[in-house]
Chains A and B, each alone.
Chain A
Amino acid sequence: MAAGSIELINVTKEYATGRSHKKCALDNITLTINQGEFVGLVGMNGSGKSTLARLINGLILPTAGKVFVNGIDTADRKSIIEIRRHVGMVFQNPDNQIVSPIVEEDVAFGPENLGCYADEVKERIDWALQATGMDELRHHAPYLLSGGQKQKVAIAAALSMRPDYLILDEPTSMLDPGGKYDLIENLKMLNEKYGITVMLISHHMEDVVHADRLIVLDQGQIYLEGTPREVFSSENFFSAGFKPPGIVQLVSNLRKRGHMIDENIITVQQMVEYICRL
């Protein structure tokens, strides 16, 4: 139970689905996420991703097993506030997250609650609103915004907290391509510059190509785990119905045709550089 990590030890989560029916959402998971890591989490609908995320910030408790955040047991309800300080979360549904009738106040809520000084709060809000492109709408009402705009507000609110661990549950689902690009760049920056641990849940493989580690959940179990490149080239990845990013498909396509192009290429930029070196 080292400090500076999230640990799940033999974690099982069951939900009641009727008087005598249960659904096992997570099945005996053991997993460590170290501070400073950038972890991608993918999996089919209902595989247990959101359940895992909610367990980590103590919103729900395991049916069996233990979850520790920096050594604190999430079942220790006295420490729940401290856990929430460490673990920032962007929920799958942005409506569940909006707390204030004004965009700017919503983004200020986190840093103010953390006890930041006014200057610091202002600096963080300005940065987070700029980073998400929501600056122009800072005085608007979040509930009257478009779907993608709401999602950006939820992201800005989480970014402004700069928690040790930032867990984002499908934050890109309603973002336009530009917004997606900006988010990934900002997460990389927070991860590298401030050592913020990122766990990014997504159905888009392009979103997670930069992760240090990619975890694939299937029916409540860890199905695959490794670097994105390792996962994308695994037979089991394909057979479970996943497809790697377009560039990875292109590379394997070319290799099948007898062009011995570098199989480590997973991004457009790497492909351009490779070809230009020829």
Chain B
Amino acid sequence: MTNVAPVIKVENLTHVYSPGTPFQVVSLDGISLEIMKGELFALVGSAGSGKTTLVQHFNGIIAPAKGKVWVCGVDVSDKNKRRDLWRKVGLVFQRPEQQLFEETVFDDVAFGPRNMGLGKDEVLGRVKEALQVVGLKIDEIGTISPFRLSGGMRRRVAIAGVLALRPDVLVLDEPAAGLDPRGRRQLMDHVENFRYERGVTVVLVTHSMEEVALRADRVAVLHKGRLAMGGTPREVFNRVVELRALGLDVPAPAGLMHKLRAAGRRVRTDVLTIDEAREEIAMILGEGS
């Protein structure tokens, strides 16, 4: 039973910003979904589609105004229970570098673990590990002020601060925006390791369709606060026309296949990776020669 129970369950969730004013925005409109233990669940959608609003319900920053949200079996409309969610659910904010505030990089990453009441050695171990995951060396930048780092390095520090909590559920709101290609790869590889080694459940908000294709078990597409599509990446990325109409796209290999198909070539269109595209093209080239 516990294995099949969803870690996050959202039922008919609606959220309205500035209700009753001329600038009222319905940012979530009747969303229902379930995210299972150990799953990597991707959330995509154009700017303003409601992704951040939705995931901020998952660690209790926003209380459900209409509808229900359960996280790890807890009904988050209960204020007291919502307050404790941060121990289980780590949320990496969109542009989390805005939230750095300590004097040194070390203190910033150590803030969460210290708050959990962990001992000195445990805090040190966790900070070291978290910084390593984001590709930073504790002896190089541990004593530096985070404000003296480049944008992408600050982002890494902020991510490390959440990883150091070792949460059961990791909610990442565009974590790799601003990370260099190597940093992005390393971060996502580590996130996958957390899943396999610790059974961590991951919710990933991203604009990278390639990342969804390579890493996600399932993906949900938001549009104007509604759930517009959902399924495995292979299912969703086969619906290229609909996706483009929502301001999204398919990964480049799939885009290529769809264009070749439109030009009359007999290729599979449900490819996700470069390797799969290569097989299809090798077939065409083989036939040609």
State whether the Cβ of B83 lies closer than 8 Å to any Cβ in chain A: no
Of the listed stretches A26-34, A58-66, A169-177, chain B binds: A169-177
Q: A170-B151, A178-B247, A259-B285 are in contact. Are A147 and B180 (CB under 8 A)?
A: no
**C-alpha gap A146/B247 in the complex (Å):** 15
Q: Of residues A146, A180, A245, which shows the largest number of chain B Cβ atoms within 10 Å of its Cβ?
A: A146
Contact of A148 (CB < 8 Å), options: B48, B184, B275, B282: B48
A225-259 contact mask (Cβ, 8 Å, vs B): 1 or 0: 00000000000000001110111011001100101
Contact of A146 (CB < 8 Å), options: B47, B244, B249, B288: B47
Of the listed stretches A40-48, A108-116, A119-127, A190-198, chain B binds: A40-48
Closest to B93 in A: A147
Q: A147-B174, A254-B281, A278-B285 are in contact. Are A243 and B181 (CB under 8 A)?
A: yes
State whether the Cβ of B1 lies closer than 8 Å to any Cβ in chain A: no
Q: How many A-B residue pairs have CB under 8 A?
A: 153
**C-alpha gap A46/B155 in the complex (Å):** 12
State whether the Cβ of B46 lies closer than 8 Å to any Cβ in chain A: yes
Q: Find chain B residues with CB under 8 A from A43 CB.
A: 180
Q: Find chain B residues with CB under 8 A from A257 CB.
A: 278, 282
Closest to B275 in A: A253
**C-alpha gap A176/B245 in the complex (Å):** 12
**B178 with A242: CB separation less than 8 A:** no
**A203 with B180: CB separation less than 8 A:** yes
Q: A45-B153, A257-B278 are in contact. Are A272 and B48 (CB under 8 A)?
A: no
Q: Find chain B residues with CB under 8 A from A179 CB.
A: 46-47, 247
**C-alpha gap A95/B144 in the complex (Å):** 24
**B174 with A174: CB separation less than 8 A:** yes
B246-285 contact mask (Cβ, 8 Å, vs A): 1 or 0: 1111011101100110010100000000110110011011
**A45 with B46: CB separation less than 8 A:** no
Sample 14 A-B pairs with CB under 8 A, ordered by A number. A45-B179, A45-B183, A133-B247, A141-B23, A146-B52, A147-B47, A176-B47, A176-B207, A176-B248, A178-B246, A178-B247, A206-B252, A242-B181, A242-B182
Residues of A participating in the B interface, judged by any CB pair closer than 8 Å: 15, 17-18, 23, 43-46, 50, 92-93, 95, 133, 137, 139-141, 144-149, 151-152, 170, 173-181, 203, 205-206, 241-243, 245-247, 249-250, 253-254, 257, 259, 261, 268-269, 271-272, 275-276, 278
Beyond A45-B178, A275-B263, 17 extra complex contacts between A and B, CB < 8 Å? A18-B144, A44-B182, A46-B150, A141-B23, A147-B95, A178-B244, A203-B179, A206-B252, A246-B252, A246-B274, A250-B278, A259-B281, A261-B281, A269-B259, A271-B256, A275-B281, A278-B284
Residues of B participating in the A interface, judged by any CB pair closer than 8 Å: 17-18, 23, 45-48, 52, 94-95, 98, 144, 148-153, 156, 174, 177-184, 207, 209-210, 244, 246-249, 251-253, 255-256, 259-260, 263, 265, 274-275, 277-278, 281-282, 284-285, 288
Which A-B residue pairs are the 5 nearest by beta carbons? A148-B47, A45-B152, A178-B247, A177-B249, A241-B182
